[in-house]
Amino acid sequence: MTTQAALEKAVLEKLLNGRSETFQILLRQYQASSVIKREMTGAGFFTYLSVPRDIPQLSGAPSFSFGDVHADLTGLKHGAGFLLTINKGYIYDIEGYSYEEPWPRNFELIRLFYDDNRIRNEEKVIRSFHARRPIE
């Protein structure tokens, strides 16, 4: 059985895998972060993270979300997707969601993959960042 924490770790490492300064800063934030809350929604989860403020933030303190990582999990016929939210230049939360089916209580991670099973196009992912209003 894959634990929730192990799934989150694997997903975050895949989401933050990149050479650009943006991904390198976010990876350092993740490595220094701690989980402050987990919330199961029935169709997925939210995991909220706290990053020490002595860790550098993204330039301009942007707020956005992105998600090009998906998973095949036992117990989910249609797999799962994930979104990472950045708030004011810091990692804020990761959301995992199923596609119109309940999130399984017990599962095994079969595989993680990028959109369309392709090698990640880092520039395209950065262009896909969806601006958000800052969370207070």
> For 47-59, what is each residue's pLDDT tens digit?
999 999 999 999 9
**Whether residue 3 has pLDDT greater than 80:** yes
| pLDDT tens track for 102-125 | 999 999 999 999 997 778 888 888
Question: Which range, of 1-5, 10-14, 99-103, averages the lowest pLDDT?
Answer: 1-5
* CB contact at 8 A, 71 and 77: no
Residue 29: partners with Cβ closer than 8 Å, 6 or more residues away: 51, 55, 56, 57, 90, 91
pLDDT digits (tens, 9 = 90+) for 65-113: 999 999 999 999 999 999 999 999 999 999 999 999 999 999 999 999 9
Task: Check: pTM over 0.75? Answer yes or no.
Answer: yes
pLDDT of residue 27: 98
